[in-house]
A = this chain, B = another copy of it.
């Protein structure tokens, strides 16, 4: 990979896949029954970016097919964690709003995971971890632009 060798990317993606597995498992251990990582990711997104966005925009943000987002939102609605309302600006579209229960759940999970992640961070070189995120973001953007 020093003179660009694609094999390095394989190994990188492999490592990323495993970390993804472990992160999911860790997350789901803290979530109430019937909720999985995508549910939490959506709640978190609604808080970080703000709610009132559309399903399609969220599907793009997470790079999943819109059918998957439909399914995830259905689960969240069933648990009263989000509300879905018509989109006043576009009759085809909808808007997604987090409920008070959703806000609460998200905060509880963050708190529970905070302790969990804190332990991880004690074993890690935090400085280096800080450095890799922008590199990953760059990688994500390049991958997204060239497909």
Residues of chain A at the chain B interface (Cβ within 8 Å): 1-2, 4, 6-23, 25-27, 37, 41, 44, 62-64, 110, 113-114, 116-126, 128-133, 135-140, 142-147
Give the number of copies in the complex: 2
Q: Return 15 A-B CB contacts under 8 Å, by A number.
A: A1-B121, A4-B118, A6-B118, A8-B133, A9-B120, A9-B121, A12-B136, A15-B137, A17-B23, A19-B136, A19-B139, A19-B140, A119-B146, A124-B138, A124-B142
Of the candidates A11, A26, A64, A135, the one having the most CB atoms from chain B within 10 angstroms of its own CB is A135
**Residue among B1, B13, B21 making CB contact with A63, cutoff 8 Å:** B21
Interface of A, secondary structure class, is helix
Q: Is the CB of A129 within 8 A of B2?
A: no
**Residue among B14, B16, B117 making CB contact with A9, cutoff 8 Å:** B117
